[in-house]
Structure 1
Amino acid sequence: MPSSLAQRAAALHRLAVVALLGFASGLPLALTGQAMQAWLTVDGIDLATIGFLSLVGLPYTFKFLWAPLMDRFEVPLLGRRRGWLVLTQLLLAAVLFALSTTSPSDSIRAFALLAVLVAFVSASQDVVIDAYRTDLLTHRERGLGASLNVMGYRLAMILSGGIALIWTDPGQGGGWTWPGVYRFMAALMAGLALLSAIALPQLKAPPARPTLARRDVIGFLAVVAAVFVGAALTDRFGAAVVQAVLGGWLATTAMAPALQARWLELAVLMLGLAFTLPLAGWVAKAARFETLLGGLSSYFAQRGAAAFLIFIVLYKLGDAFAGSLMTPFLLKAMAYGSAEVGVVNKLIGLWLTIAGAIVGGALMLRLGLWRSLLLFGVLQLASNLGFWWLAVNGKGVMPGLTIPAFDWGFVRLAQPTPVDGGLLMVVAFENISGGMGTAAFVAFLMSLCNQRFTATQYALLSAFAAVGRVWVGPLAGVLAESIGWPRFFILSTVLAAPALLMLIWMRDSVRALELDPATVGAVDD
């Protein structure tokens, strides 16, 4: 009996840690995403520029390049994974503070560079968190663990997204400025670093793999050099190549010159990626970057590995497309107040996401992984139509409610805030379905990892998952201005369909992961 109680206490400790790490992961993401969009909108930055500034999240899609170093090396004293966690969280605190001292309207380039640095360190923290969570949880705990991870993640976004919007509302909040918000978040990250150092359980290291540390370092530096070469060549020749290929055709269209320039910039970006990624892969192989190559070969040894990667990109694509410019849509196009958006989209909505994640985790125990992914994916697709309805009908169509004034110390509303009924309905459905889908999706990613290469493989998988969130931003900003918001949300709904068709086709492969624990992760060499 005491042994059983000890096992339950240990399981509860593991699940509580997963929720805490989810909070640490979600806090900086919002600060380079929707919270940053709100700051930029308030500072008068135009919509297309805000769309392009979503590219500050690029490190989230390339983190698999340096994740092998976090598999191969450990920061001294704190043990496997914990040392990297504490280091990245302290660095986040420092860079967020630096960002708080920079004005986007006065120095947009410096602001963007610091935001990229925040995203880089945040992506590095995510590499460690994802690996730690996957190594910590047992197979049976992964569904519930994924739900608690989403809960912590969304609680952080309630703070850095929802409550921060209320704090900065000039008529409703507590007189906070966006720089003040970012300074507070920097202090909070420093506190999380201390908590990580003292509260996280130790991990058992997997069997050692004989690789040369020097070779891994040289391989990583060679890959970084290849990326810089690719970026430099793209910067030098990309615009001329794209102008020669597309410039004449665009000049014959009725598109405004400013939008033509945005499309050309987007084409240059795509050309640069098409050149740089293969170059980096060739260099990694030539330099014998063993931990990266070993992690990739281990992943691709499992059945359906390539198809899983395509599915990972597609599953959240429609959801990411619809949400990529949600803050500017609600604040500018729909003319909702900052406090109203903060209360509904960030505060009430994110609590509903947490509820959706918990319900999703509970349903997964009955439905299994494949049926959960399919059902929750259908709900995610349908939720995009709600924003189409809102864009077509405008506000005031449905009866709303009024949030009374309150003062809870850490957040307050100075005056009663009317909440539009249509906004509340659409946000509720989108957040509940999104929370359910995310819980199933995280459990799916964990099921594909091999413990020997957890950081490398999960970083690769989550980088593919971030493709939608990061890369649709520039395209979304241009499209929203080109075709209008109603058609934009219809397009986001259409983009959600291919993943569901692919999931039906992959039914046996996904069910093999859920039914046979021995098939979880890649085959060991």
Structure 2
Amino acid sequence: MHNTALRSWGDSFRAFVHPRVITMLFMGLSAGIPILLIFSTLSIWLREAGIDRSTVTYFSWAALGYSFKFVWAPLIDRLPFPVLHGLLGRRRSWLLVAQCGIIGAILWMGFTNPADNLTIMAFAAVALGFASATQDIVIDAYRIEAANPDLQAMMSSSYIAGYRIGMIVAGAGALTIAGLFETEGTYEPLAWTVAYGCMALAMGVGVITTLLISEPVVNRIDSKYFHKTSDYGRFLLMFVLTVIAFIIANIYASDLTDPLKTGLTEGGIIGELAGFIAGTVKLAISITAAIIVAWLTTRVGVTPTGMVQETYIAPVKDFIDRYGKAAIVVLALIGVYRIADIVMGVMANVFYTDLGFSKEEIAAVSKTFGLLMTIAGSFLGGILSVRYGVVRILFLGAFLSAATNILFAIMAHLGPNTVMFSAVIMADSLSGGLATAAFIAYLSGLTNISFTAMQYAIFSSIMTLFPKILAGFSGTVVDVIGYSWFFIGTALIGIPVLYLVVLASRMTAFNAAEKSEPKPQ
């Protein structure tokens, strides 16, 4: 790991109360509210309304926008929003639009009774997922542009804390409000209307923050193509046609992939793996169709080729040009850094239940106490990153995230021991918060200010893709080898991450030094 100049503890703690850092606390709150209104809170509402479990799980697809936000992130980078751009600036204008979209979608959901209009509720949930993912894109770009690299760790720590608080508001808060307006055991649509209305009101914190903050001052490369209104219109048309092609291909690809999944299962391949293979083929078909449509629109002159290259290809090319051979190692690190946490985390709640803990114990220790420890860990990670440098804490976070999984293996032999449960949750949550804060700061430092939204959106999509694929097989692995060996295995797969942190640090440092050397005349 390359050397980073140490900062004093005073500098580290002063970063804690920097105005930009405090701003990110409120931004995080605004980002944390929508996610649970699509997932757990909505699931409870749908079940109370009498919707069957299989249909309820389909609503999780409403959040797919979070996984594919890199698709429209370039629009956020390149397209100024009409009128508001001149009044608020690039980031604040898009942020305000996204937040208004979130408020509108939440109210739309709140005034829809899923027992009568399930399809309308689905459209409202998709709208909320899209608007929320858009807000995430802008907040990530704003965070990177609003402060220098030395402050990014504390910015990410504050954002994580705010995000977790937002989740409490949208989870426990919304459920508590709904409970006040309905009798236990009965379904009252009005109770959920009031609850979601209060969540829309809570989003006002984000709107007020957006209006009070200043627009980041950055030096970016101006676009060669986006100058006239017609340019923006043509590009948007290409984007819409591409999305439509993706959706249509995804629908009709099922005619191919469903028989493929059935055939693989009948051939002896486990259901999870067969589903993954079929899903990968389906996604590949959909992406191919979208690329073909995008290519055709440029060929017929709907969108200039240079416009597409500047928007989608240039950010990728810039990253490769800046990091050279190190780009592969950096991307590998991004793809596996959270592998130990994510693969283990999928089985965590099931493990607690199987071990014999009650729902109340799980809620109190894992959810409430664990949440507080995660917030504490994120701020600890931020302070230590400012003091010792991001890369050192990135390594420490990776080590602790893997090592704490061993504690779960020990816990599996002790049975429902509440003291051990609390100790394990404290260690796991502190290390997870610390690692996440350092990792977000590291990703922020990799971006080029000219392509902030696009590059960070790509990084944030890559960082969960491979771990989530592996996590899908967690249940099968536990059935075969048991919890103890499963947790030990999740710790062991975290070891290569440590090597990648060191290798990526050395290669990027060498690459930077090589570029800084004067060229021979």
Q: Which TM-score band applies after superposition, normalised by the shorter structure? A: 0.7 to 0.9
Deviates more, 1:309-318 or 1:319-328: 319-328
TM-score by length of 1: 0.77
Which residue does 1:186 correspond to in 2? 200
SS, match of residue 217 in structure 1: helix
SS, match of residue 322 in structure 2: coil
Deviates more, 1:377-386 or 1:104-113: 104-113
Which residue does 2:391 correspond to in 1? 370
State whether structure 2 residue 103 is matched by structure 1 residue 83: no
State whether structure 2 residue 357 is matched by structure 1 residue 344: no
The CA distance in 1 between the partners of 2:489 and 2:114, in whole Å, is 31
Which residue does 1:59 correspond to in 2? 65
TM-score by length of 2: 0.77
State whether structure 2 residue 31 is matched by structure 1 residue 25: yes
Which residue does 2:338 correspond to in 1? 316
Shift of 1:124: 1.0
The CA distance in 1 between the partners of 2:62 and 2:475, in whole Å, is 15
Go from structure 1 to structure 2 and tell me whether the alpha carbon gap of 1:299 and 1:316 turns closer, same or farther (over 3 Å shift): same
Shift of 1:60: 1.6
Contact 2:106–2:199 (Cα < 8 Å) also in 1: yes
Residue deviations 1:191-242 (CA, integer Å, cap 9, x gap): 1343134212123363422124345324423431342243123222111123
Which residue does 2:259 correspond to in 1? 240
Matched AA of 1:24: S
Shift of 1:144: 2.0
Contact 1:51–1:475 (Cα < 8 Å) also in 2: no
Shift of 1:269: 1.5
Deviates more, 1:95-104 or 1:380-389: 95-104
Go from structure 1 to structure 2 and tell me whether the alpha carbon gap of 1:178 and 1:299 turns closer, same or farther (over 3 Å shift): farther
SS, match of residue 210 in structure 1: coil
Residue deviations 1:365-423 (CA, integer Å, cap 9, x gap): 3332222111111111122333444455332x2xxxxxxxxxxxxxxxxxxxxxx3233
The CA distance in 2 between the partners of 1:267 and 1:458, in whole Å, is 28
Residue of structure 1 aligned with 2:449, choices 448, 451, 456? 451
Q: Which structure 2 segments of 5+ residues have no match? A: 1-13, 299-304, 517-521
Equivalent positions of 1:321-332 (< 5 A) are: 321-324=343-346, 326-327=348-349, 330=352, 332=353
Deviates more, 1:92-101 or 1:297-306: 92-101
SS, match of residue 143 in structure 1: helix
The CA distance in 1 between the partners of 2:492 and 2:274, in whole Å, is 25
Equivalent positions of 1:61-210 (< 5 A) are: 61-75=67-81, 76-77=83-84, 78-100=88-110, 114-161=124-171, 181-189=195-203, 191-204=204-217, 206-210=220-224
Equivalent positions of 1:201-280 (< 5 A) are: 201-204=214-217, 206-212=220-226, 213-214=231-232, 215-250=234-269, 260=271, 264-280=274-290
Contact 1:391–1:485 (Cα < 8 Å) also in 2: yes
Deviates more, 1:452-461 or 1:295-304: 295-304
The CA distance in 2 between the partners of 1:36 and 1:318, in whole Å, is 29
Go from structure 1 to structure 2 and tell me whether the alpha carbon gap of 1:79 and 1:434 turns closer, same or farther (over 3 Å shift): same
Contact 2:30–2:206 (Cα < 8 Å) also in 1: no
The CA distance in 2 between the partners of 1:45 and 1:316, in whole Å, is 34
Deviates more, 1:381-390 or 1:362-371: 381-390
The CA distance in 1 between the partners of 2:54 and 2:399, in whole Å, is 30
Which residue does 2:425 correspond to in 1? 427
Go from structure 1 to structure 2 and tell me whether the alpha carbon gap of 1:193 and 1:436 turns closer, same or farther (over 3 Å shift): closer
Shift of 1:93: 2.2
Shift of 1:43: 8.8
Contact 1:19–1:148 (Cα < 8 Å) also in 2: yes
Residue deviations 1:246-283 (CA, integer Å, cap 9, x gap): 43224xxxx7xxxx4x6544432222123333554565
Shift of 1:32: 3.8
Deviates more, 1:303-312 or 1:108-117: 108-117
State whether structure 2 residue 316 is matched by structure 1 residue 296: yes
Shift of 1:145: 1.6
SS, match of residue 209 in structure 1: coil
Which residue does 1:414 correspond to in 2? none
State whether structure 2 residue 378 is matched by structure 1 residue 357: yes
Q: Sequence identity, in percent?
A: 29
Residue deviations 1:482-525 (CA, integer Å, cap 9, x gap): 77655654454344333223223323135569x98x99xxxxxx
Matched AA of 2:202: L
Shift of 1:125: 0.7
Go from structure 1 to structure 2 and tell me whether the alpha carbon gap of 1:35 and 1:435 turns closer, same or farther (over 3 Å shift): farther
Shift of 1:156: 1.9
Contact 1:162–1:347 (Cα < 8 Å) also in 2: no
The CA distance in 2 between the partners of 1:440 and 1:280, in whole Å, is 35
Contact 1:130–1:458 (Cα < 8 Å) also in 2: yes
State whether structure 2 residue 394 is matched by structure 1 residue 381: no
The CA distance in 2 between the partners of 1:465 and 1:335, in whole Å, is 33
Go from structure 1 to structure 2 and tell me whether the alpha carbon gap of 1:434 and 1:333 turns closer, same or farther (over 3 Å shift): same
Shift of 1:480: 6.2
Contact 2:343–2:468 (Cα < 8 Å) also in 1: no
The CA distance in 2 between the partners of 1:358 and 1:347, in whole Å, is 17
The CA distance in 2 between the partners of 1:383 and 1:242, in whole Å, is 37
Contact 2:335–2:467 (Cα < 8 Å) also in 1: no
The CA distance in 2 between the partners of 1:50 and 1:477, in whole Å, is 21
SS, match of residue 203 in structure 1: coil
SS, match of residue 313 in structure 2: helix
Go from structure 1 to structure 2 and tell me whether the alpha carbon gap of 1:79 and 1:512 turns closer, same or farther (over 3 Å shift): farther
Go from structure 1 to structure 2 and tell me whether the alpha carbon gap of 1:51 and 1:71 turns closer, same or farther (over 3 Å shift): same
Which residue does 1:507 correspond to in 2? 505
How many residues are treated as equivalent by the alignment? Answer: 473
Matched AA of 2:66: Y
Deviates more, 1:31-40 or 1:58-67: 31-40
